[in-house]
Amino acid sequence: MPRTDLVRAGAAFIYVIHDLAELDLDPAAAGCSAVVSGHSHRPTQQRRDGVLFINPGSAGPRRFTLPVALGYLLVSAAGVEAGLIELEV
């Protein structure tokens, strides 16, 4: 897989990048609805300048003291929403 990718889902553009510290564009200016990253394995979601940033965490073996988790995106005509699900291990 490439280090970054721009994926279209319906009318939404989703920027996918491994390490958010390497973000090489302004997602809001580029018309992105969401940015998905994963380097830290820390499940988080927040909106910045109207763009949803989500890190789904890691559904594999536990990393450090972080929860085992996964995330999802729901793309609809109303926009992009996200959720995080913590898994029991």
Q: Dump pLDDT digits (tens) for 10-21.
A: 999 999 999 999
pLDDT tens column, 40-56: 999 999 999 999 999 99
Show me where the domains of the chain are located: 4-86
Confidence of residue 81 (pLDDT cuts 50, 70, 90): very high
What pLDDT score was predicted for residue 43? 96
Share of the chain above pLDDT 70, in %: 100
Q: Provide the strand spans (E) within the chain.
A: 4-9, 12-17, 34-36, 44-48, 51-55, 69-76, 79-86
What pLDDT score was predicted for residue 63? 81
CATH placement of domain 4-86: 3.60.21.10
